[in-house]
Chains A and B, each alone.
Chain A
Amino acid sequence: MFHIEDKVRHIVCPYCGCLCDDILVELTDGRISGVENACTLGAHKFLDDADNRLKGPIMRKGDQWVDISYEEAIAYAVQTLSEADRPLLYGWSGCVTETQAIGAHLAELIGGVVDSTTSVCHGPSILAIQEVGHPGCTLGQVKNRADTIIYWGSNPIEAHPRHLSRYTNYADAYFLHNAFRERKVIVFDVRKTATSEIASEFVQLEQGGDYHVLSALRAIVRGREDVVPDMVAGVPKSQLIRVAEMCKKAKFGALFFGVGVTMTGGKYKNIRNAIEFVDELNRHTKWTISPMRGHSNVYGSNEVFTWITGYPYAVDYARGIAFYNPGETTAVDILARKEADAALIMASDPGAHFPRTCCEHLAKIPTILFDPYPSATTHLCTVQIPCAVNGIDAAGTAYRMDGIPIRTRKFLETGYPTDTSLMHEIYEQIRERKEHV
């Protein structure tokens, strides 16, 4: 039998915030048959795509799923969202910025709340940045200059597998003679991880001790090690002094932090302390700090919402003007307090990640889910609308974890409509409806 084989280069992986743009995809008879260069997580994003998608929109009727047309699904979304008193538009981090922009405008049109998955991952990082600023840089700078790298509360070998090889420890550097030998990696974590195995210094701290260790490090860098007790959150003072010296001796340091710091007790206070630690180190040498963003385009949602609404996530348009207050206008809080009376979930899976009370409330209210695949949220939603996948059969803009916009590529034709076109249709129909009232 004759097979048509094809290889497509320079594909952008739509899985994590690294947005690796050197992926090679092999196609056999128009199906993805092989992936090169990608990590395991990214490769499975491509390889598991075929045969796993929903064929078309589905709606819950009683205790059964009924197939409906895209027109019926859109009509349902239009009616539900325009009649709601407190609609919640949540997700947005797996779709392209073009869709996110429509989402922000839709929130204004219907007086809803638009929130992205930021509120359950790096939202605290943004709160800290709003307090004390962000001494950051692009990953290219880190790759070419950094000789000391800290991973704090993040495990890139398992969560962002190519971060080390593309940007840090294993990458060639323009300004370092022998990058791999010259680079030092310091890992702060509560347990031994795959990343701590390759670290030149591993600092194992007690659960919830991040703030204490950062405060102690700041005091040591400031020359006030006399006040620091012998043990800080399970870390000996001698090790902290050694680490502080390593940091001060660096020519260019980069601190990367993950949700291990943002989602532990203290949340944004930990990040604020980390930023102020980097601030303190900048009196001695050059240091930068960057969050390890999870979803492919979660950074894009913050960019888009900021340029449209003025705020990066959790924007409440109930009174026609943008109001932002994480803790009050974030998706988890709105659902836990049972405020929302309709929800649109775009390209994310709160069913798998939200607290139980939030999921229970999502199951009670009309919930419209945009997702190509069945997910845990499918079990909670009223209508699920499958759409094209960003980076496979849809193209658009996504923001890498350091804020660099990258154009994703479309390399397959599947016939699914894009989420951008569906959201545009919903927006236009609601706008017409509002004009006629």
Chain B
Amino acid sequence: MQVTLTMKPRAKPFLPIEAEMINPMNFIGSQNLFVWEGNKKRRLEDIFTVRKEGNVNSPENIVVVLRGDTSRVKRVGEYMSSGTIIVEGDIGMHCGNFMRGGFIEIQGNADGWLGREMRGGSILCHGNAGDYCGSGYRGEKRGMRGGKIEVAGNAGDYLGEYLTGGEIHVHGNAGMFAGAEMRGGCLIIDGDARIPAANMAKGTCIIHGEIHEMLPTFEKIGEKDGMLVYHGDVANKGKGELIVKSKIT
């Protein structure tokens, strides 16, 4: 079954919409779904034009398509465990929070906290991702624990903060403090990064581009496939692995 949600024009287009019920599983049956626009509770149909096509047999076969200006729609696919969500434009914050399975494809850009604390499944973002992609919530000791996030564009600051498991692959550049406090998992950045892997404890961070302002507390171990291998962060007895291209500025 395909569910197409098209944004209706809004009087105040900048108001955030919290829509954690946009989760493929919730479109089985005909229950009433509600979203929050600012401090007002609205029916899903007040915000989106909902069109359902085909029959449902299981949540894995449900494809939810989001159309229109969805850049202010937050928490899409929260706790999602199966099915597919395709966002044709940009998506707001917290997309794929705590996701356990299924697939989210974002054809535009994603705002902050993409795949926050996700446990499984995969997210593909064709545009840029905002800050805190694959990280944890404030004060949380573990960020993303499993699954895969692939970002074709650039990622913002604090990419994969507290990354504990799973893989994040950014094809473009990352902002400041990528892989800060990493505790496991694998972070691959094809472009440049600034102050990466700060205070890392475990895990692997691979940077193919240039590193700006590399931290002084990484111990050079050797070379592997033309890349330099560092261990750290020595400041906290970390046993992480930072693999970088030889050029460091």
A residues whose Cβ falls under 8 Å from a Cβ of B: 84-86, 110-112, 127, 130-131, 208-209, 211-212, 215-216, 218-219, 222, 224, 227-229, 232, 265-266, 269, 272-273, 276, 317-319, 324-328, 337-339, 341
Interchain CA distance A209-B236 in the complex, whole Å: 18
B residues whose Cβ falls under 8 Å from a Cβ of A: 12, 14-16, 18, 36-40, 72, 93, 112-113, 131-132, 137-139, 176-177, 180, 195, 198-199, 213, 215-219, 233-237
Interchain CA distance A11-B138 in the complex, whole Å: 39
**Known contacts A127-B138, A269-B198; A339 and B15 CB within 8 A of each other:** yes
Q: Is the CB of B215 within 8 A of A211?
A: yes
Q: Which residues does chain B contribute within 8 Å of A85, judged by CB atoms?
A: 12, 15, 37-40
Contact of A215 among B93, B132, B216, B219 (CB under 8 A): B216
Q: Is the interface of B mostly helix, strand, loop or mixed?
A: loop
Q: Is the CB of A222 within 8 A of B216?
A: no
Interchain CA distance A38-B112 in the complex, whole Å: 45
A190 to chain B, nearest CB (A): 15
Q: List 15 A-B contacts (CB under 8 A).
A: A85-B15, A110-B39, A127-B138, A127-B139, A208-B213, A219-B216, A219-B234, A222-B234, A227-B218, A269-B198, A317-B39, A319-B18, A328-B112, A339-B14, A339-B38
**Known contacts A86-B39, A269-B180, A273-B199; A215 and B235 CB within 8 A of each other:** yes
A281 to chain B, nearest CB (A): 13
B129 to chain A, nearest CB (A): 14
Q: Is the CB of B138 within 8 A of A326?
A: yes
When A and B form their complex, which 5 residue pairs have the shortest distance between CB atoms, in order from nearest? A111-B39, A85-B38, A130-B139, A338-B14, A218-B235
Interchain CA distance A272-B198 in the complex, whole Å: 11
Interchain CA distance A272-B177 in the complex, whole Å: 13
Q: Which residues does chain B contribute within 8 Å of A209, judged by CB atoms?
A: 213
Known: A273-B198, A317-B39. 5 other contacts (CB 8 A): A130-B138, A212-B216, A265-B176, A266-B176, A318-B36
Q: Is the CB of B177 within 8 A of A269?
A: yes
B213 to chain A, nearest CB (A): 7
Q: Is the CB of B132 within 8 A of A327?
A: yes
Interchain CA distance A24-B193 in the complex, whole Å: 55
Contact of B39 among A211, A212, A218, A319 (CB under 8 A): A319
Q: Is the CB of B15 within 8 A of A212?
A: no
Q: Which residues does chain A contribute within 8 Å of B234, judged by CB atoms?
A: 219, 222, 224, 227
B60 to chain A, nearest CB (A): 30
Q: Is the CB of A319 within 8 A of B235?
A: no
Q: Is the CB of B217 within 8 A of A215?
A: yes
Q: Which residues does chain B contribute within 8 Å of A324, judged by CB atoms?
A: 138
Residue in chain B with minimal CB distance to A361: B14
Interchain CA distance A435-B77 in the complex, whole Å: 36
Q: Is the CB of B112 within 8 A of A327?
A: yes
Residue in chain B with minimal CB distance to A112: B39
Q: Which residues does chain B contribute within 8 Å of A276, judged by CB atoms?
A: 199, 235-236
A99 to chain B, nearest CB (A): 22
**Known contacts A85-B39, A339-B14, A339-B16; A219 and B198 CB within 8 A of each other:** no
**Known contacts A208-B213, A215-B235, A265-B176; A227 and B15 CB within 8 A of each other:** no
Interchain CA distance A110-B40 in the complex, whole Å: 11
Q: Is the CB of B198 within 8 A of A328?
A: no
**Known contacts A216-B216, A339-B14; A266 and B195 CB within 8 A of each other:** yes
Q: Is the CB of B38 within 8 A of A318?
A: yes
A92 to chain B, nearest CB (A): 20
Contact of A131 among B18, B38, B93, B139 (CB under 8 A): B139
Q: Is the CB of A318 within 8 A of B138?
A: no
Q: Which residues does chain A contribute within 8 Å of B177, judged by CB atoms?
A: 266, 269
Contact of B235 among A219, A328, A338 (CB under 8 A): A219
Q: Which residues does chain A contribute within 8 Å of B213, judged by CB atoms?
A: 208-209, 212
Interchain CA distance A338-B16 in the complex, whole Å: 10
Interchain CA distance A266-B234 in the complex, whole Å: 19
Q: Which residues does chain B contribute within 8 Å of A110, judged by CB atoms?
A: 39
Residue in chain A with minimal CB distance to B93: A328
Q: Is the CB of A327 within 8 A of B131?
A: yes
Interchain CA distance A336-B198 in the complex, whole Å: 29
Interchain CA distance A269-B176 in the complex, whole Å: 11
Contact of B195 among A211, A219, A222 (CB under 8 A): A211
